[in-house]
Amino acid sequence: MALWNNKEFFGPDAPVLKRLLGENFRRFASRYALAFVLMGIVAAATAASAYLMKDLINKVFIDRDPHFMLIICVSVVVIYTAKGLAAYGQEVILSRIGNRIVADTQVRLFDSVLRQDLAFFHAMGTAELITRLTHNARAASSALNMIATSLGRDLLTVVSLVGVMIVQDPLLTAIALIGVPLLFLAMSKLLKQVRKLFRREVDTVSRLVAIMQETAHGIRIVRAFRLEEALRGHMQTAVTDMEDLSNRMVRAQAGANPLIDTLGGIAVALVVAYGGWSVIYNGATPGEFFAFITALLMMTDPARRLARLNLNLAGAAAGVRMLYELIDQVPQQQDRADAVPLVVSAGKVCIDQVRFGYDPDKPVLNGVTLVAEPGQLTALVGTSGSGKSTIFNLLLRFWSPQAGQVLIDGIDLADVQAASLYDQIALVSQDVFLFDGSVADNIRRGRPDASEDEVIEAAKSARAHEFIVQLPNGYDSLVGEFGGKLSGGQRQRISIARAFLKNAPILLLDEPTSALDAESDAAIGEALARLSKGRTTILIAHRFTTVTQADHIYVMEQGHVIEHGTHSTLLSQQGIYARLNQLQSTTVAASDMRLGSQSASAV
């Protein structure tokens, strides 16, 4: 493995390439061995065709031997047939290995992504993730195939042809290879520039993917606000940057060609001069010279590929390095070694003196304490940014508090296995997420092993069955990307059915009716009332009309709990809850009056 420790040749790429080889060559050792045998046949056939030139010139063209001409013709057919079949076999084998490596790598990358916490997704955009899952996985296969073909087919071919040259004339061989050290020195200088450009290429591809994603997902906003020109400008800039970067990479990679061709031309000129002198003055046969020059010329392409190996590997190595960065990413939120499964008995939730900030210097929660009793509805109200959603994030252990505890039935969530925690909590959010699939598939996400009857029963409980059976294919109807084929109320009822099916003892409701019309609001409100029954339910509410029946209400402001109690108790205190409730009631009444006035005018 000394080759991979040669920093002059591979530089900083050596460790990542060594790891890639260590992980994959052993897995496919038998297939690589067969491919190397076939590549050896290709190399031997190439060398044999060059060696035949000696007898072709001397025996056929000079001695005019018809019998030997027939032998050479048959030999050429056999050699090139064997070469073609061996080349086909090695290409198919390497391609199959490469496709398997791409598939396995993409699975490893996706598994790594699934292990990550929310901090990871906040730091890395989806466009970069998609680029790494596609571009970088292919880079691993590309790097291995380049190494295999270079060390197998090309290196063996060069060695075989050099052997033919040495047999014909050792001194002439030394003259022909005199420029090789200079060539590798020049390549090492070009390599530094190429490495930087390949890393920038991945970043630019991510920008292109991100712009396309934003356009596809936000097409309604694009149309409504006439943002086509702005997005076109962003895309044009990114495409121009990509074009410029690609041109620079081509110039850098192609920079080796003039040097290779110049050194090759000098070598051929020296060989012709010395070889011609040997034939004219020293009695060497023309066959020996032509065999030598044929081997030299046939060596040009594989030698060129070997000389450019580190340049070509630089791009693949950059992708492989980014691939391993993602695979090796360690989540900040992990189960402790002694973590235990969470088993909910009563379902009492307690936030005890919790301090937390997404930026440690800017706390979102400042010593918050609240309790959600089993079987009761607990509501969190307050202005935007007061910390309500952060409490949900801590309950789901998407983040961990910097101080204080989050407890369920007296057990600190920091001491439990995250998977068991998620089994005990169902979430219904205002931002409904549906997977691209059928209605039944999305409901069954609540419990994958649920039967068809259980799925239908959950839909009925969520007041969703009525509209589902009206869809073209009923429960088998596709919801579209992000549920785009359904209305907001329909998507929300499917998410409630999903929660019904999960049947978790703790229910988190993040203002699930905030963006719905009155009819959908009423239907979903009824479904949520049934869903909440007998469970520990915590509701984030922006509209105070949804919390009047809550067993306990916590009023939050700037990361503090400033009031708590029942609806009537808080109104009687004439504090901030009463003031916000009055302000919201006045706003709603004024809006209703405006709508009524507009309706009367229309009549």
pLDDT digits (tens, 9 = 90+) for 462-506: 888 888 999 998 989 888 877 788 888 888 888 888 888 888 899
Q: Confirm if 513 and 492 have CB atoms less than 8 A apart.
A: yes
Count of residues in the chain: 603
Average pLDDT (540-546) is: 76
CATH 3.40.50.300 residue ranges of the chain are 349-576
**Tokens coding 116:** 């990550």
Tell me which CATH homologous superfamily contains domain 12-327: ABC transporter type 1, transmembrane domain (1.20.1560.10)
Query: What's the CA gap between 388 and 374, in Å, rounded?
Result: 20
Q: Rounded distance, CA 17 to CA 19, Å?
A: 5
Residue with tokens 């079949």: 85
Q: Which residues of 311-335 are buried (b: 16+ CB within 10 A; e: fewer)?
A: bbbbbbbbbbbbbbebeeeeeebeb
Q: What 3-state class would DSSP assign to 431?
A: coil
In DSSP terms, 564 is beta-bridged to: 554
| Cα gap 531→512, rounded to integer Å | 13
The DSSP output letter for 125 is -
Of the listed ranges 138-142, 333-337, 518-522, the least confidently predicted one is 518-522
491 to each of 221, 422, 485, how far by Cα in Å?
20, 22, 9
CA geometry: angle 134, 138, 142, nearest 5 deg? 165
Look at residue 506 and give its three-state secondary structure. strand
Q: What integer pLDDT is reported at residue 517 of this predicted model?
A: 53
**For residue 492, what are its two tokens?**
């929300």
Q: Residue range 523-531: average pLDDT?
A: 73
Nearest CA to 327 out of 17, 120, 129, 109 is that of 109
CB contact at 8 A, 391 and 368: yes
Long-range contacts of 366-369 (CB under 8 A, 24+ apart): 366/558, 366/559, 366/560, 367/403, 367/404, 367/560, 368/404, 368/556, 368/559, 368/560, 368/561, 369/404, 369/561
pLDDT band at 380 (very low <50, low <70, confident <90, very high): very high
> Which one of 230-239, 395-404, 539-548 scores highest in mean pLDDT?
395-404
**CA dist list (Å): 48 to 38, 68, 157, 159, 423:** 15, 16, 10, 12, 68
Collapsing DSSP to helix, strand or coil, 112 comes out as helix
What is the tens place of the pLDDT at every residue in 406-431? 999 999 998 998 889 888 988 888 77
Q: Rounded distance, CA 355 to CA 377, Å? A: 24
Find which of 2-16, 162-176, 583-597 is predicted with most confidence, using mean pLDDT. 162-176
| pLDDT value of position 4 | 44
Q: List the single range of 178-192, 257-271, 459-473, 535-549 with lowest mean pLDDT.
A: 178-192
For residue 566, give the DSSP letter. Answer: -
Which pLDDT score is estimated for 284? 65
Cα distance between residue 292 and residue 176, in whole Å: 10
In angstroms, the CA 332 to CA 534 distance is 35
| pTM score of the predicted model | 0.69
Q: What is the mean pLDDT of residues 369-389?
A: 89
Which CATH number applies to 349-576? Answer: 3.40.50.300
Q: Return the pLDDT at 591.
A: 46
pLDDT bucket at 195, cuts 50 / 70 / 90: low
Q: Which of 110, 122, 145 is nearest to 323 (CA)?
A: 110
Question: Where in the chain is CATH 1.20.1560.10?
Answer: 12-327
Q: Among 80, 85, 60, 62, which residue's Cα sits nearest to residue 70?
A: 60
Distance, CA of 380 to CA of 521 (rounded, Å): 19
User: If we measure between CA atoms, which residue out of 398, 500, 410, 399 comes closest to residue 450?
Assistant: 500
d(CA 550, CA 581): 15
Phi-psi region of 565 (alpha: psi -120 to 50; beta: other; left: phi over 0): left
Mean pLDDT of the chain: 80
Predicted confidence (pLDDT) per residue in 20-59, tens digit: 888 888 888 888 889 889 988 988 888 888 887 777 777 7
Q: Quick one: DSSP state of residue 463?
A: T
